A and B are shown apart, each in its own frame.
Chain A
């Protein structure tokens, strides 16, 4: 066929769009206003595509099991982990974290793991959401 894309385009008109319309079908006039509406329950957010099992999202830290061995600091490629000498525990700055989960692999006590949260954008890189301790 000379123009082999035409049947494809025509059939697509009858199909549902492939794109997941996250977070809303049409762009809201004010994003912050829309997010406030979602929080107060006035608007409903279209959820993002689900992440599979084993997804590397926001890091989880089990503070009680940590022995302060500093091995995670040794392998962290981005220097995102800080050692707090007073408590002998670590503090992870997510704004620097590259989500490689190498610290999970080296931890002798398995006190670090990857969660599935990934909507982590923030205007303040030191916001409490972005510091795990």
Chain B
């Protein structure tokens, strides 16, 4: 037998952009040695929708609804961060009652997102009966969202300078009832997710992200916290009414006393955050029912608000702790009707690079659960894809750097 035929070598498997194991278009290239992953690479850019470009041709009130469509699950935190940035530019003061209402909506979105994730995680390891049970619980949270905002997914509750709908006294019993239901079922879900042998087998010591790697690769949100990185925009730089509320960082050592940074820890963090969100909503509803009814928006007349925003000049950043981590919106206005610049940094952007250390050394069958454990949202993330005159053009690193330098200079002018 010739010598080269017996030589062991690795081979590459491409997965995606469209693949049954993936919920959204992303392409992986794995270098595998037998069943073991030696190296992983990620290719993005399949769902770029030119949202920022479109936003620069709309007035800020129209952009709110465009921002809402960046992501279906984070359909509250994207428009809200945009609103925070615009409020900073125009110097709009948000009424106190609206600050608490904003917290209620933000935490309700977190409950919906984390329970959705928990169901998907169960599905990825092939435990579909848990998916159905989790989504049954989530359905109640969605019903409450529909009751409070008028729709289940695209909430359209954001307004620059406040929120669009109030929580009146007669709405409180429905909120309390749903929170009671969620609390009752939380124990059940926690037991299934954290004690069941199937989950433990598939998630413990799988997809480990060390604290050093998490810090080095700037992991955000639950992915970072599960590796022991105590980072949470709600506590570090409080926005809305978060500074008035009582809560703390959720890291896995709260429950187990140790941090491993594996998939199991990410399940713990997300489940405990659901509990924390229920608690925060209850605190807010208590405060809201004790508060006299007042303004929920700084300027109720939209035409007047648009005129005010037309005159606004300057730039601002809106930061929020979205369910997946920190989301940043940068907006620059130059005294025109439309924003001069709008840039979105979604949390998944930071949580993509941590995939590589997580996946190295794992088996091919672990790819779906490890990839899903960061709760990726591809549509939020895709920002660069260039098609010019029908030709697809790839920019090299230097080209992009040069373009970036040019843009900074342009913005500085």
User: Using a CB–CB distance below 8 Å, which chain A residues touch chain B?
Assistant: 1-5, 8-9, 18, 51-56, 71, 74-78, 98-102, 105-106, 114
Contacts and interface: CB of A to CB of B under 8 A. Distances in A.
A75 B58 CA distance: 9
Contact of A106 (B139, B154, B192, B303): B303
B43 interface: no
Report the contact-size class of chain B (Cβ under 8 Å from the partner): 20 to 34
Contact of A51 (B146, B154, B156, B192): B146
A53 B156 CA distance: 16
Given A56-B151, A101-B156, A106-B302, A5 B62 contact: no
B91 to A, nearest CB: 22
Contacts of B143: 52
Interface of B: 58-59, 61-66, 69, 127, 129-130, 133, 136, 139, 143, 146-147, 150-151, 154, 156, 164-165, 188, 191-192, 195-198, 302-303, 306
Judged by DSSP, the binding face of A is loop
Given A4-B196, A5-B196, A100-B156, A77 B65 contact: yes
A76 to B, nearest CB: 7
Given A3-B196, A74-B303, A102-B61, 16 more contacts: A2-B196, A4-B192, A8-B188, A52-B147, A75-B59, A76-B62, A77-B61, A77-B63, A77-B64, A99-B151, A99-B154, A101-B150, A101-B156, A102-B156, A105-B164, A114-B150
Contacts of B58: 77
B133 A8 contact: yes
Contacts of B195: 1, 4
B192 A5 contact: yes
A130 to B, nearest CB: 18
Contacts of B164: 105
A5 B146 contact: no
A22 to B, nearest CB: 14
Given A100-B65, A102-B65, A8 B302 contact: no
